[in-house]
Structure 1
Amino acid sequence: MPTLTGLSAVVLSACLSGCNDLDLLNPKGSVGLAERNLIATSVWVMLIVVLPVIFLTLFFAWRYRATNAEAEYKPGWSHSVAIEVVIWTVPALIILYLGILTWNSTHELDPYKPLESQVKPIRVEVVALDWKWMFIYPDLGIATVNQLAVPVNTPVNFQITSDAAMNSFFIPQLGGQIYAMAGMKTRLHLIADQTGDYAGLSANFSGRGFSDMKFRALALSPQDFTAWVQKVRAASQPLNMSVYQAVAAPSEKNAVRYFSTVNGDLFDEIVAKYNVGGKDGMAGMDMSAHAAGPRG
């Protein structure tokens, strides 16, 4: 099966090498690679049923065509044990295999599961706004809009929320896709294995400016990441609550913005403001206990 998975990945990549927008099949991180292999494995397993059905449909149409006088005519035929065994056993085995595959991948690719690494992770807090993305680096004391930068080969621990309609945070080449919901915190763990400039987007329709709610994810060498952090710190504007409220106002086609400093509690304040005085007792609710399914 590993050989079949690798072969399928090569075939898919070769067939789609001219399609620049199929980032999901061109992963640049271990999580994205595992997800692509899962897709390829599932496709090959399901083709065990699909391909014979297509072949037999064409064969029967040709074999029992009206002009073929040599085809055996059995108007009284109604049952075959051998055929019944095949048409029930093979799909049952495929469903069993896919069930085991889904169970294992659900746990292995759990977006709330930290990635194993010798490198200390970097923390990034993500806020979905109308219609832009804000990234807060609590350990570095900086923030950006519509640009995410991370050091290569370093796990990234995301905490995600929304200060607008529900969105879905997605970097196709790194893996993932997890919802951003107002008043709640979701998590995602990703890693970039190669330096590059990757597309990020909202995968959940959220209104008029949704189509332009995109950002760039920069996977940088340690030296380049340090230089990027210094560049952000050199920005002229800090991010306090009054500035944040202006940034959070609905706007479209937003340019990249840097903030030299940020209020360390800003992310928690954004989460908590939807739950003050609420009846559910869900202030700052972390959805880790409710996470289901593999990344994406």
Structure 2
Amino acid sequence: MGAAENNILLIATVIMLAIIVPTMIATVIFAWWYRESNPKARYRPDWAFSGRIELVVWSIPLLTIIFLGGIAWIGAHDLDPAVPIRSDKKPIQVQVVSLDWKWLFIYPEQRVAAVNQLVVPVDTPIQFHLTSSSVWNSFFVPGLGSMIYTMRGMVTRLNLLADREGDHLGLSTHFSGDGFSDMNFTMKSVSPAGFDAWVASARGVGSSLDKAAYGALAQQSIADRPRTFGDIDPELFQGIVDQTVPPGPGPTEKADGAPPNVRPKGGS
């Protein structure tokens, strides 16, 4: 998806340069030709209109805009985040919840979950269902493309595919409070065998993620270390979307009336 978006941007840039470069060159040529010292340049103070010139001046930009619009129209439909990626491999389902200030990734078919760590098999379509536990947020893996928003009480959909193994930076691109700058995660694209091994290790050492555990997890925190859950409540994600699972309480005032102790890392 990222490669396709990059290709569209490059094509659009080249098309626009096809107008910009000749225009810049023509500007220099006109300024040089109609200089005061050039006796060959004709001064025509009564000239006002040329249909041929108007046709050229307006037709080239018009054709360019139509061309660019066609590319953007086709690309917008081909790269629709909700459209599944064609593949002979079964997609992996991942449910994403943006919390304050961390990411929760739930694998409903594997019955595991992880905080601030997303592991996917390479060359396998990933179908994301995304929501927010509280405020509006955004989900973005720049190396794969297609940023999309998360909103409480709603589900957005995103389809991505990693075509090579490696680590990709994931982050939030929508300011959401004190811990926004640390609301990052690592997306690891691994071999199918490596993915199965990660799922097995998560089941072996992770605790269970039920509604009570989610309530504790939803507390505001900053720069959480990645961790996994070995079992999940299958109804948890839908409960978050339906808002039958309450959001985290957020910061509360101290007993002496002082402001909540939620500050950027390194602050007092």
Shared fold per TM-score greater than 0.5:
yes
Q: 1:191 aligns with which of 161, 186, 206?
A: 161
Matched residue of 1:184: which SS? coil
In the alignment, the residues of structure 2 paired with residue 146 and residue 58 of structure 1 have an alpha-carbon distance, to the nearest angstrom, of 55
**Superposed displacement of residue 145, structure 1:** 0.9
Query: What amino acid is the match of 2:203?
Result: R
**Superposed displacement of residue 46, structure 1:** 1.6
Query: What amino acid is the match of 1:248?
Result: A
TM-score, length-scaled by structure 2: 0.85
What are the residue-to-residue correspondences of 1:243-258 with 2, within 5 Å?
243-258=213-228
In the alignment, the residues of structure 2 paired with residue 274 and residue 41 of structure 1 have an alpha-carbon distance, to the nearest angstrom, of 47
What are the residue-to-residue correspondences of 1:161-176 with 2, within 5 Å?
161-176=131-146
Q: 1:220 aligns with which of 164, 177, 190?
A: 190
In the alignment, the residues of structure 1 paired with residue 87 and residue 79 of structure 2 have an alpha-carbon distance, to the nearest angstrom, of 15
Farther-moved stretch of structure 1 (207-216 vs 61-70): 61-70
Q: Which residue of 2 aligns with 1:73?
A: 43
Query: What amino acid is the match of 1:41?
Result: I
Q: Which residue of 1 aligns with 2:261?
A: none
8 Å Cα contact 2:206-2:231 kept in structure 1: no
**Superposed displacement of residue 272, structure 1:** 0.6
Q: Which residue of 2 aligns with 1:201?
A: 171
Query: What amino acid is the match of 1:219?
Result: S
**Superposed displacement of residue 67, structure 1:** 5.2
CA shift in 2, pair 1:193/1:72, >3 Å: same
Aligned length: 246
Q: Which residue of 2 aligns with 1:107?
A: 77
Given the alignment of the two structures, is residue 150 of structure 1 paired with residue 120 of structure 2, yes or no?
yes
Higher relative CO (Cα under 8 Å, sequence separation at least 6) belongs to: 1
Which deviations, in whole Å up to 9, do the C-alpha atoms of 1:100-127 show, x marking residues without a partner? 2222112211111111111111100000
CA shift in 2, pair 1:143/1:275, >3 Å: closer
Query: What amino acid is the match of 2:181?
Result: S
Q: Which residue of 1 aligns with 2:28?
A: 58
Q: Which residue of 2 aligns with 1:18?
A: none
Farther-moved stretch of structure 1 (85-94 vs 206-215): 206-215
In the alignment, the residues of structure 2 paired with residue 53 and residue 184 of structure 1 have an alpha-carbon distance, to the nearest angstrom, of 48
In the alignment, the residues of structure 1 paired with residue 35 and residue 137 of structure 2 have an alpha-carbon distance, to the nearest angstrom, of 54
**Superposed displacement of residue 128, structure 1:** 0.8
In the alignment, the residues of structure 2 paired with residue 58 and residue 145 of structure 1 have an alpha-carbon distance, to the nearest angstrom, of 58
Residue ranges of structure 1 left out of the alignment (5+ in a row): 1-30, 277-296
What are the residue-to-residue correspondences of 1:87-166 with 2, within 5 Å?
87-166=57-136
Instruction: Name the structure where helix makes up a greater proportion of residues.
Output: 1
In the alignment, the residues of structure 2 paired with residue 222 and residue 106 of structure 1 have an alpha-carbon distance, to the nearest angstrom, of 31
In the alignment, the residues of structure 2 paired with residue 196 and residue 236 of structure 1 have an alpha-carbon distance, to the nearest angstrom, of 24
8 Å Cα contact 1:183-1:275 kept in structure 2: no
In the alignment, the residues of structure 2 paired with residue 230 and residue 65 of structure 1 have an alpha-carbon distance, to the nearest angstrom, of 78
In the alignment, the residues of structure 1 paired with residue 39 and residue 134 of structure 2 have an alpha-carbon distance, to the nearest angstrom, of 69
8 Å Cα contact 1:183-1:274 kept in structure 2: no
Give the alignment's Cα RMSD to 1 decimal: 1.9
Query: What amino acid is the match of 2:74?
Result: N
**Superposed displacement of residue 224, structure 1:** 1.1
Matched residue of 1:120: which SS? coil
Matched residue of 2:146: which SS? strand
**Superposed displacement of residue 57, structure 1:** 2.6
Q: Which residue of 1 aligns with 2:149?
A: 179
Given the alignment of the two structures, is residue 40 of structure 1 paired with residue 14 of structure 2, yes or no?
no
Which deviations, in whole Å up to 9, do the C-alpha atoms of 1:248-286 show, x marking residues without a partner? 12222222121111111111011111799xxxxxxxxxx
**Superposed displacement of residue 78, structure 1:** 2.1
CA shift in 2, pair 1:266/1:88, >3 Å: same
Which deviations, in whole Å up to 9, do the C-alpha atoms of 1:77-108 show, x marking residues without a partner? 32222221111101111111122222211221
Matched residue of 2:155: which SS? strand
Query: What amino acid is the match of 1:53?
Result: T
**Superposed displacement of residue 162, structure 1:** 0.6
Matched residue of 1:258: which SS? strand
Residue ranges of structure 2 left out of the alignment (5+ in a row): 247-268
CA shift in 2, pair 1:131/1:65, >3 Å: farther
Sequence identity (%): 46
Q: Determine which structure has more spread, i.e. the larger CA radius of gyration.
A: 2
